[in-house]
Amino acid sequence: MSARAWRRALVTGGAGFVGSHLCARLTDSGTEVVCLDNLATGSRANVVGLEQRPGFRFVRGDATDPAAWQALPGRFDLVLHFACPASPADYLRLPLETLDVGSTGTRLALERAHADGARFVLASTSEVYGDPLEHPQREGYWGNVNPIGPRSVYDESKRFAEALVTAHRGVHGTDTAIVRIFNTYGPRMRTGDGRAVPTFIAQALDGMPLTVAGDGGQTRSLCYVDDTVDGVLALAASTETGPVNIGGGDEITMLELARRTVEITGSASRIRFVDRPVDDPARRRPDARLARERLGWPRVGWSEGLERTIGWFSRSVAA
């Protein structure tokens, strides 16, 4: 993968799940990092260890607030825009805020990147494909999205953000890239965020039934967070504009994921089937050829990554 030394980076949403891993990786590489987060869904605990290290600074502020941007000191040569509620539980609880950060937040982040002459990367999502009619999903697929369904606040927020990034690049020449992140999992996920991996793990560790939606036949392609970070930073270091899919290549059913979670944890939990959410995609798997060919991007197998994640959750519970 491409390597590039960044002097100073800004990560919006940097106290969130993926954002905190990006902050850690950049700090480890010697980059000075500013983390901007309003903690609506992120946690200060995710970056508290970084705050003891030179070159890292946490700033509590809202990416949709112009005053928060004006208060950020100095110039950046990398802006990673990851601020946004990403789990169904969060964006359904914060629908207007989700739309706002995709529009106003993205515009303000782009303006700062342009003013500083920085490389800008937008964290988009596989949700722009909706419930896809094409499988696997390539970057040129336009998607099958319900614009007024319960998931639309997140889907359309990201679709608009992609359009805004593309327009800003065309009009102002801003150095931008778009990464479409598929289902990512790993340490620092919240047990109550509504996504399958942390939900199944928490239920298994508590000895509770694992709640599988529908018949469990719907599929996802899971990507371990270290791999997602590798992909994001490889894209940032490249000259690619995107969109570029970053996601796991191993497509598994939710029932298989639940059973494997029970197996790894050694839990006595049973599986309980529940109603499937509205507009829940039936199949989800990226066509990741572009990332492999242009970025040289590798992956950790989903089963190995699941074992690492369960280990982290187990240690967190014990602590």
CA distance 177 to 45: 29
CA distance 208 to 287: 35
| Active-site entry in 91, 129, 141, 154 | 154
Ramachandran assignment for 71, one of left (phi > 0), alpha (psi -120 to 50 degrees), beta (any other): alpha
From 283, 279, 296, select the one nearest 238 (Cα to Cα). Answer: 296
From 155, 150, 160, select the one nearest 132 (Cα to Cα). Answer: 155
Query: Which residues make Cβ contacts (< 8 Å) with residue 61, sequence separation at least 6?
Result: 36, 37, 38, 67, 68, 71, 72
Extract the tokens encoding 172: 């102002």
Q: For this structure, is 154 an active site residue?
A: yes
Q: Mind telling me the catalytic residues?
A: 154
